[in-house]
Structure formats: C-alpha cells, structure tokens
Chain A
Amino acid sequence: MFYREAGQFKASYQADQQIFPIVQDRVGIAIVIAVAALVIPVIANEYWLKAILVPVLIFSLAAIGLNILTGYAGQLSLGSAAFMAVGAFGAYNFMLRIDGMPFLVALVLGGLAAAAVGVLFGLPSLRIKGFYLAVATLAAQFFIVWALVKFPWFSNYSSSGVITAQDIVILGYTFDGPVAKYLLTLAIVVVLALMAKNLVRTSTGRAWMAVRDMDVAAEVIGIRPMRTKLIAFAVSSFYCGVAGGLYAFTYLGTVEPEGFNLDLSFRILFMIIIGGVGSIMGSFLGAAFIVLLPIFLDNVIPHLFGNLFSASFASNLQLIVFGGLIIFFLIVEPHGLARLWQIGKEKLRLWPFPH
C-alpha cells in the first residue's frame, strides 16, 4: 500500500535511469537528508554531534568502501583500516607539504593515494581467492601501519609518530565548531554514498557482481577480471581513504598509526556483515549498530543493575550482551539489517491486506 510501484510509469530514459526509480524512495531519502542537514544541527547537542553522529557517518563511509569490494566484487579484505590510515596520513601530508592546498583537494588526493596502495595490494586477488586473499590483505594491514611508524617522514618526524590534523578552511570559512564539522562530514558522506549507489548500477558495478557470482562465467561473457577486480580495489580503497581523512580531520583531530589496527578492520567487516553484504544502505545500518550499541549498553547496564555487580563485571557484561545480540541478529536474519528493511518494504506493499 505504502510502497506500491504499480502505476509509476517511466516514460523517458531519464526516469528509468535515476538512482531511486520509485517515488517513495526519492521522497524518503530527501526527507532523511533534510532532517540530517537541517533539523539535527538544531536539536542535537555537542555530545551527539561530536561523539555519536560524526563517527557513525565516517564509519558508514568506510563500510561502503568495504562493501564495494566484499559485497559487490566478492573480494574479502581485512585491510580497510590500513587504507583509512593511508587516507589520513596522505591528506595530512598533502596539506603540510604543499602550501595553500585546499582541504577538499587534499582529502581527495589522500583518497587517491589510498586507491593506489589498494590497487597494489589488490594484485594478489588475480590469482588467489577467498580466505587466501584475506590473508594477502592482512599483509597490507600490517605493512602499512608498520611503514607509517617506521618512516618518520610520514608523521613529519614527530617523536611519537602521531599527526595532528590542520584546520579545515574552505573558501575562507574555518570549520571548527561541532555543527560545522558535522555538516561537512554529512555533505561528503552523502555525495559519496549517492555516487556509490549509482556506481553499483553501472556496467562497472554489474561487472563486479558478475565476477563475484562466478568469475569464470564472467570472463567467458567478456568481462576482464583483472581490470574489474583492480577497479573494485581502487574504488573501495578510495572510499576507505576518504573515510580515514575525515576520521583524522573532522573526528579525532590527532591520530596515531596504531589507531588504524586490525581491530578497526574487523569492526568495519562486522559492520557490513551485520548491515548487509552488498547493500549501500546496509553499510549505514551496520555502522550505526556497531558504533551505537556498545555506547547504549554502557549507558544502560550500570544504571539498570546499579551496584548489583562490580564495575568489572558490568563492563564484561556489555561485551557479552553485545556479542549475544550480534549472534541473535545473524540467526534471525543472516543477510543483515538491510534485508530486514527489504522484508519490511514487501510487507508494506501488501499492507493492510497480506496474503
């Protein structure tokens, strides 16, 4: 009922090819973006903007990056955090070493640097698959973090190996308040997410999915696996790189190479597994789940049980509940939260008269 596509005729190629062909989706996305851009900055306080919304957006972007590689092109990767590190250190160095470098250009250059590194570590994907490829990308994870610590040039000879992000100035305006940083992050994430949504429908995206589903068959029908896989690595690392740049510039301000460790890579992988492999919206849902749930539990559990437990037990209990919920969701819906949303849509189509 709410989601009836019947009667929505596409009379032109343009109408047929738009990103959201159904009017409900278009309206829904427009409302979500409008609320995020206009309402939230007014009602949310500093805590929500700085500590909750900005990281959720940034991790969503990183999850989109990994989703392109793993969800669409079928190449398992454990190096997402390292590609984020390349983006962060890249953007920092471009800003530092080139006078008058605009922030957005530095961010994109950082992303491109990550893409180049991604392609390099994507080369083994031409010969190996599945878990073996995961091990090869694991090498990227360790190598990049090691290199950033080993060669002090990357951190401008800082004795502790950390970098401090420069101020963000765009067209003479300094983005320093929580609202400004949130809006900047939101704008970049929205643009890149829409681009990703569009990209996966193009011939490139369809080639990725063909390679994912059966690479021999894809090759037989004329898709070049090497090119396809390497483009997937490049685009995915670009997204992770931009996410890393934002992580350093709009979120933490000061980052160390060890912050981009294997743990973070796993967290991003969990985000797409929980959110939905092969879904752009799933990346957002997964990032929100993985970032917000532990914070929610940390707020609720100590108050719920008061002094019943010791602090150590309460802390461990959070992890137990968190792990339990992940398993619960995967049993209930192995295809992730995005699939739940799809089921919801189908129900709404029939509502109020289900079969």
Chain B
Amino acid sequence: MEFKKTVMLGALVAGTLAAGVAMAAEQFIGLPSYRVGAYAAGGSGIYGGWIDYMNLINERDGGVGGVKLVWEECETEYNNARGVECYERLKNKGETGNSMFSPLSTGITYSVLDKVADDKIPLVTIGYGRTDAADGRVFPWVFPLITTYWSQATTMIKYIESKEGDLKGKKIVLLYHDSAYGKEPHAVLDRMAADKGFTVEKIAVAHPGNEQQSQWLQIRQIRPDWVILWGWGVMNPTALKAAAKTGFPRTKMLGVWWSGAEEDTIPAGSAAKGFTAAGFNVAGADYPVIKDIKKVVYGKSLGNMEDESRVGSVYYNRGVVHGIIAVEAIRKAQEKYGKGKALTGEQIRWGYENLNIDDKKLAELGAAGFMPPLKTSCMDHEGSGKVKYQSWDGAKWKVVTDWIDADKQMVRGMIEESAAKYAQEKGITPRDCSKEM
C-alpha cells in the first residue's frame, strides 16, 4: 500500500516535471566572455550588461514570446585559441544549440569566421570585427552591426567638418594603436583626405602604448588642427595625459569607440576634460531600460555587476545594446518560425538579417536615444552606420551631437570591393539578394 502510494506520487511528480519541461522552451545563448586580463574592464562591463538585460526580459516579460533565455559563460581570456575552444564547447548546448556567438574580440572573430557557416550560427560583432562582412551576400552568417570601423572614421571627419567648416588645407593626425585594428581607418581617411583636401599624418603607437613621448613631440612639430585617437586600453589615458603635457587642446581630440569609456578617461584625471569620443551607445542611467534593470534585476539581487555603480557606464550600456539586439533578433525570428519554442541558429540568422528597430520600437523598449535605429537586410549587415559623440566633462560623458550618419556611399563601395576580393579568393558565389526574403 505504502509502496503503491510512493509510486503514484513519483509518477505524479515526474509527470508534472515532464510537462513543465515541455512547456517552458528555452533559448540558449553561449557567451564567450572575458573577465580577466588586460581587457577585463570591457569584458565584464559588456557581458554584465548583456546578462542583466536578459535577466530583465526573463523576469519582467517572462522571456521572449514565452521562451526563457538561458545562457552559459565561457572564459576566453581574450585569447584566440581559448575562444575557439569556447565556440566549440558552446555550439551544441541547449535545446537547439547555440543561438549566436559574440566574442567581442576581433582575433576570435577571425578564428571562427569560417566555422560559423558550417555550424549555422550567426556571428554577431557589434562595432568591431571584419568590416567587409557588412556585405551580406558574401558573408551571410556574419553581422558587423551598427557601425564598422570604416563608417566610424567617416563620421569623425564629418564631425570635424561640422566644427571647422571647410577642411581644405587642414591637418589631421591619426594616432593609432599599431595593430591590424589601428590600421583599419587608414584607407578610408586617405580617400576622404583626397576628396576634401586635408592632409592626414598617421603616427603609430606600439602596444600597449604607455610611452608616447616621441609621438607627441612629432605632433607638436606637425601642429595639427585635430588629433584622432584610435587607441586601446592604457594607450588612451596615456595619450590624454601626454596631450595635456604638450599643451594640445583635448577639445580638438577625437576618439574611436574603444577610446571612449570611463575606463579611458578617469585614469587621465583632469587631462581628459573636453575629450570627445564616438559611441554607438551613450552613457547614463536615466534611460527607462536602465531604470527597469535597476528596479527589476537589481531589486531582486539578480544583478551581474559586482560594482553596481558601473550600471549606466559606457561599457555596461554597450552590453545592454547587445542584449536588446539579440532579443529583437529572436523576436523577429519567432514571428516567422513560430513563438513558444526554441529556435535554431539558422532561424535566428534570419532574424538578424531582417531586424527593423526604428525609433518607435526603441521608445517601446525604453531605449530612445540610447542606441541608433537599426535596419538590416540581405545586402546590408551593418544596418545603421550612425554614432553619437560624447564629451568628457571631468566626471561623466555628456552627449554633444545627435546621431551622425556615416558616408555610406563611399564606405559601401569599399566594402563591396573588399568582399568581392574575398569571395574570389575563397571561391564563394555571392548570394542573390533578390531571391532572399
């Protein structure tokens, strides 16, 4: 008798559990994060913000279309080999395998670039990675969303133009991190210089860049009108301090988005005041989406950040942007492939390719002005090209411009040229976008 009861109870429990599992579909997202090493500030901020946003969606909305988001982190240490290991480890986890891969490292992006097409997992590189992958015909699985380095370089020239008027005869110095990353804007700036009649002097800073005396001596001799800072990590505060020592006005210095976080300016102290940098998201905790995260996620002590004061910082908000785009891509894919179940990477790829986050949608998400509107297509995997400029007032970043459009015509031509060369080298036949839907 006792035994029978136990069995029945067991069956009942098992039944409920099975039903529970069947009901709650889960979408798995593998996060190749890095929280140690030289770039830990960026990694912990961005992945922390992303996780917090996913927690917000789970807690406030019960997931995306009834599907809970689940994730697992894998520590890459910003190391290519470890990144590949993480990619392989995460790719078959969850109900339908990994939904997307965002390593936040150009090196790891290149290391998995060929693999994602075989495994049918979208490779999402927001603001970094392989620029010519914006040509979706040649790179169907890669999404360098919002802004590529080339687009960003054109907005910098536009910004300078808005301050100076005519650029003819002006001198601009590009102070860059001596690496593949630092060389990204060279071709674009050369072409714009030829078009607009200004000169560009390119000055390299060897990694890590904590010694810049000779470079700034050179800058003092050149007497440029503007200095573009294409830096990374410790190179940024060092450049700002050296500029202060040399007497070069920081208001005439313009940074790329890797140079424009609190971590880049606070170590420079008062020398950073007036420095302006690009960003595809803005800093600040006053946006409804950040307020919601504070209320819902941190209210339940589910927050990922150890230091809650970093919520609303540039890197953290960038992570929230990653979260917003990932969630919207899943939502879009659900519209086509059905709600309430976990989707495959291939289906989510369609979602990424057909994103349409307009101003109205951004307002609904509580992110109006927080990130630029984004509309992708088979042709265009960048989808926006807009950045805002923020100035450091000594204590925080302040937005100083509206969204500035990239010179899409010029950048697009260069992207297609480069992508066609890649396709030829690899023997890829580009997709015919008129047949995609």
Contacts and interface: CB of A to CB of B under 8 A. Distances in A.
A160 B180 contact: yes
Given A258-B179, A263-B79, A316-B35, A159 B113 contact: no
A159 B80 CA distance: 20
A311 interface: yes
Interface stretch (B104-112, B372-380, B393-401): B104-112
Nearest to A148: B180
Contact of A46 (B74, B82, B88, B111): B88
Given A256-B106, A315-B36, 6 more contacts: A47-B91, A47-B92, A159-B187, A251-B84, A254-B114, A311-B304
B73 A311 contact: yes
A33 interface: no
B184 A160 contact: yes
A252 B131 contact: no
A316 B36 contact: yes
Contact of A312 (B35, B106, B130, B183): B35
Nearest to A317: B36
- Which among B34, B79, B304 has the greatest number of chain A C-beta atoms within 10 A? B79
B179 A254 contact: no
B194 interface: no
Interface in A110-165: 146, 149, 156, 159-162, 164
B35 A160 contact: no
Contacts of B425: 156, 164
A250 interface: no
A253 B82 contact: no
Of B75, B132, B187, most A-chain CB atoms within 10 Å: B75
Given A51-B89, A310-B306, A254 B82 contact: no
A257 interface: yes
The main secondary structure of chain A at its interface with chain B is: helix
Interface in B359-401: none
Contact of A161 (B35, B183, B187): B183
A50 interface: yes
Interface in B45-103: 47, 73-75, 77, 79-82, 84-85, 87-89, 91-92
Contacts of A253: 111, 113-115
A252 B80 contact: yes
16 contacts: A47-B91, A51-B87, A55-B85, A146-B178, A149-B179, A149-B180, A159-B131, A160-B184, A251-B84, A256-B110, A259-B80, A259-B107, A291-B81, A315-B33, A315-B34, A316-B35
B82 A294 contact: yes
Interface in A278-302: 291, 294-295, 298-299, 302
A258 B306 contact: no
B300 interface: no
Given A164-B114, A256-B180, A159 B89 contact: no
A336 B112 CA distance: 34
Interface string A28-66: 000000000000000000110011100100000000000
Interface residues of A, number: 38
Interface in A249-279: 251-259, 263
A338 B107 CA distance: 33
B418 interface: yes
Nearest to A155: B180
Contacts of A256: 106-107, 110, 180
Contacts of B81: 55, 251-252, 291
B180 A254 contact: no
A216 interface: no
Contacts of A146: 178, 206
A319 B38 CA distance: 14
B281 interface: no
Given A159-B131, A257-B180, A315 B84 contact: no
A45 to B, nearest CB: 9
Contacts of A80: none
Contact of B106 (A149, A160, A294): A160
B4 interface: no
B154 interface: no
B75 A254 contact: no
B426 interface: yes
B203 to A, nearest CB: 14
A238 B74 CA distance: 34
B44 interface: yes
Contact of B131 (A160, A251, A318, A319): A160
Contact of B306 (A156, A251, A312): A312
A318 B77 CA distance: 11
A149 B183 contact: yes
A299 B110 CA distance: 24
